[in-house]
Amino acid sequence: MTAPDWTELVAGTADLVQLFHGPVPLAEFDLLGLLVDERADSGITVGFATTEVPGAAASPLFEGGVNALEFFLVFSHVEELDIHGWDHTGLHTYDIRQAGSGPLSVRLTGDHSTVAFTAGSCRIEGIRTYRAAVDGM
């Protein structure tokens, strides 16, 4: 599956799909960070934030001036981790696929970096809305 279909492979995406009226455009979000956990269950967490939420006006999550959203993709049972380069520009392309019933194949790329791995599963955690300063100029 290509990037626009990633929500079909990740647990807990229903609220995000509703807020975005369909596929959630990861490449359009700010990257909050990438955490590699080397402990027994080996996981990778990727955080995202945005102030561009098409369904915000109709959602009770965005009342009282709330205008931003953050969430985290948590990948479990990570294997075959391969990281090449890293710089201040971060990551811009997120590809999450699955061949048959096998593991997820994940490739995150930036201008000068690539992070690739397989994962047994992925879920959404930490969906949070908040009031953010937005450039009006």
- The pLDDT of residue 96 is 95
The band of 38, judged by pLDDT with boundaries at 50, 70 and 90, is confident
Does the pLDDT of residue 3 top 60, yes or no? no
Q: pTM for the full model?
A: 0.88
User: What is the residue type of 1?
Assistant: M
3-state SS string for 16-51:
HHHHCCCCCCHHHCEEEEEEEECCCCCEEEEEEEEC
Q: Over the chain, what is the mean pLDDT?
A: 88
- The pLDDT of residue 21 is 87
Q: Where are the alpha helices (DSSP H) in the chain?
A: 14-19
Q: What percent of the chain has pLDDT over 90?
A: 58
CA distance 126 to 137: 30
* Number of helices and strands in the chain (H, E): 1, 8
- The pLDDT of residue 39 is 78
The band of 2, judged by pLDDT with boundaries at 50, 70 and 90, is very low
- The pLDDT of residue 137 is 43
pLDDT, one tens digit per residue, over 41-93 is 779 999 999 999 998 888 888 988 899 999 999 999 999 999 999 877 778 89
Region 2-16: mean pLDDT is: 81
